[in-house]
Structure 1
Amino acid sequence: MSSEPFGGRLAAAMGERGQLCAGIDPHPGLLASWGLADDVDGLRAFSLTALEGFAPVVAAVKPQVALFERHGSAGIAALEELLAAARAADVLTIADAKRGDIGSTMAAYADAWLRDGSPLAADAVTLSPYLGFESLRPALELAESTGRGVFVLGLTSNPEGASVQHVGGDRSVAKGIVDAVRAENAAAADRGRAEGALGHTGLVVGATVGEALGLLGLDLGTTGAPILAPGFGAQGATAEDLRSLFGSAWPQVLATSSRGLLVAGPDASVLRAAAERARDGLA
């Protein structure tokens, strides 16, 4: 793994290729629309074609782990192949696994997604902090030591999320997560491990959370966190919406589009053109 921390590598990729992350989400409906069977062969063809189209023009790709897991061990093998191919193509990977547990189980999840030499190792992984932020400590520490990153669920746009994340008003659960991420990146900077403007501990903030950021008093610009913002494109958020929502934190934002790009398949060159249009719209 590169000795350069994840935040520095992501900032360089965003500077070179823009602020778009392309999701690789092999939904059964998308497989069918590409003329592929809903099996491992279809999964493999879908994911590698998507990578071929996206890799040259996006800052990162984000495979949705659940859609590989549904095919069992052969699906996980296809995910391993995709991650290896992405490394060879020199594009960052974010495994959208949303892992979260305690103790030795959390350490095992960290080992799977963040350890050097693991066949599932990605450049970053998404994590759920709702067993307590400190339950993520094994992943936070391993990510820092291997030059990888994590994206912690902070404020999501699904309707059910508010029942947990908004609780507490000006001392909301979401604010506690954001504050913990800020402290994590500050501590890493003090250790000399977080180079550049972005730390290794990121946040997931939905692109369609609307007024919630302001209502909950969340200051993302001071967190030093890369911000993964799903919801751009097919889920309704425009580039203008993103700039308005994130304000001064906009340079930290990696906007994610999945279905909005993947519907352009199955031709890799057409996928690439769709990603270029989306990326250029964010500039």
Structure 2
Amino acid sequence: MIQDHEAFPGTPGTLPFGARLSEAMDAHGPLCVGIDPHPGLLRAWGLADSPAGLRDFTLRTTEALAGRVAAVKPQSAFFERHGSAGIAVLEEALAALRDGGTLSILDVKRGDIGSTMAGYAQAYLGDGPLAADAVTLAPYLGYGALAPALELAESNQRGVFVLALTSNPEGAAVQHARDPQGLPVARSIAEAAGISNAPARAAGILGSVGLVVGATIGSAVADLGIDLRASGGALLAPGVGAQGAGARELERVFGAARRQVLASTSRAVLGAGPGIEDLRAAAASAAAEAHSALR
């Protein structure tokens, strides 16, 4: 995917997030594995629903996956529910992924305005203990309100994934609605991401502003007239594999943009635990499945 590293400005010796993700997808397959330690999964692994159980689950998972998949996506909510002790485990997980050379996408879905958005950006895209390689963002206070996060991500060679077309049924009420210019909201978000990614596209690399597009949304992309390929960034696609989307569904949703897709799964991999080798085998199988379906 990457054509010209040197053509893109940035910190010497450091590639933008989109370029690093592209390399990781080429090396390990187009798969992102979620870390979703909900109570039922902790119980299935024989662990207590406590900070200690959460830590065991999380560090075992990062040990199994680091260096073996393109990206890992911790779901912040399942750590936050344990309070400060859970946040401490999340910080450990992000550090373990960083040390293991694996990209982290922190699923926080933050979206706010002004100094509050700047605060979230500093927490997750700055240099603190909760900093990830990329975060998920909710643009429904306006794409422009995300500017503090977009600007800090760019300056720190990090990335974002902006919610565009989610697979939950309630999402259509907002995402399919028309903005003041008459465009579907999801289309306006995709087009805004394309503008943000224009410099990367000109340099022939994957943009660092990705979109979240559910793999099980059927014909919504076509129905709303969205050109996902023109968005220029990675397309984080929940719903692949155990959640229902195979090659046929991916073709229907993503079409010519399939090479930009980073398939996201958690259940198909985490359900194989708690053994580390079992987790690795499940991740390798899921990565091969995603590669076959998308490439």
TM-score class, shorter-chain normalisation, is over 0.9
Correspondences of 1:35-74 after superposition (within 5 Å): 35-74=46-85
SS in 2 for 1:203: strand
1:170-218 CA-to-partner distances (Å, cap 9, x unmatched) read 710101101100111115656xxxx543111110000111110110011
Aligned length: 278
Are 1:10 and 2:21 an aligned pair? Answer: yes
Which of 151, 158, 174 is the aligned partner of 1:148? 158
Residue-by-residue CA offset, 1:42-80 (whole Å, 9 max, x unaligned):
101111111122223210000000000000001000000
DSSP 3-state at the match of 1:171? coil
2: CA distance, partners of 1:35 / 1:12: 36
Stretches of structure 2 lacking an aligned partner (at least 5 in a row)? 1-10
Aligned-partner residue type, residue 181 of structure 1: A
2:230 maps to 1:219 = no
Structure 2 match to 1:264 = 272
2:174 aligned with 1:164: yes
Give yes or no for contact 1:25–1:63 (8 Å, CA) kept in 2: yes
Question: What is the identity, as a one-letter code, of the residue corresponding to 1:150?
Answer: V
CA contact (8 A) 1:20 1:278 kept: yes
Q: TM-score, normalised by structure 1?
A: 0.95
Quote the residue 2:195 is aligned against.
183
2:151, 2:201 → 1: CA distance? 14
Structure possessing the higher relative contact order (Cα contacts under 8 Å, 6 or more residues apart) = 1
Task: State the partner residue of 1:247.
Answer: 255
Which one of the candidate residues 209, 218, 226 is aligned to 2:217?
209
Secondary structure at 2:119's aligned position in 1?
helix
Q: State how far apart, in whole Å, the 1-side matches of 2:191 and 2:247 are.
A: 26
Which is further off, 46-55 or 16-25?
46-55
Q: Which amino acid aligns with 1:74?
A: A
CA contact (8 A) 1:8 1:196 kept: no
Cα pair 1:166 1:172 within 8 Å, conserved: yes
Q: Report the TM-score, using the length of structure 2 for normalisation.
A: 0.91
- CA, structure 1 residues 239+3, in 2 after alignment: closer, same or farther (shift >3 Å)? same
> Could you list the per-position Cα deviations for residues 91-125 of structure 1 after superposition, in whole angstroms to 9, with x for gaps in the alignment?
0000000000000000000000001x210000000
Contact 2:220 2:253 in 1 (8 A): no
Contact 1:94 1:122 in 2 (8 A): yes
State the partner residue of 1:199.
207
> Could you list the runs of 5+ residues in structure 1 that have no partner in the other structure?
none
Counterpart position of 1:125:
135
Is residue 2:19 matched to residue 1:30? no
The whole-number CA distance in structure 1 between the counterparts of 2:103 and 2:251 is 23
The answer to which of 128-137 and 2-11 deviates more is 2-11
Give the secondary-structure state (helix, strand or coil) at the position aligned to 2:197.
helix
- In structure 1, give the amino acid aligned to 2:188: G
> In the TM superposition, what is the alpha-carbon distance from 1:233 to its structure 2 partner?
2.1
Q: Specify which of 235, 242, 258 is matched with residue 234 of structure 1.
A: 242
Once structures 1 and 2 are overlaid, which stretch shifts more, 180-189 or 93-102? 180-189
Equivalent pair of 1:10/1:92 in contact (CA under 8 Å) = yes
Structure 1 counterpart of 2:177, which letter? V
Q: Hey, what does 2:101 align to over in structure 1?
A: 90
Distance 1:73 1:158 in 2: 30
Could you give the per-residue CA deviations for residues 245-267 of structure 1, whole angstroms, max 9, x where no partner exists? Answer: 21111111000001121111100
Q: What's the RMSD between the two structures over aligned residues?
A: 1.5
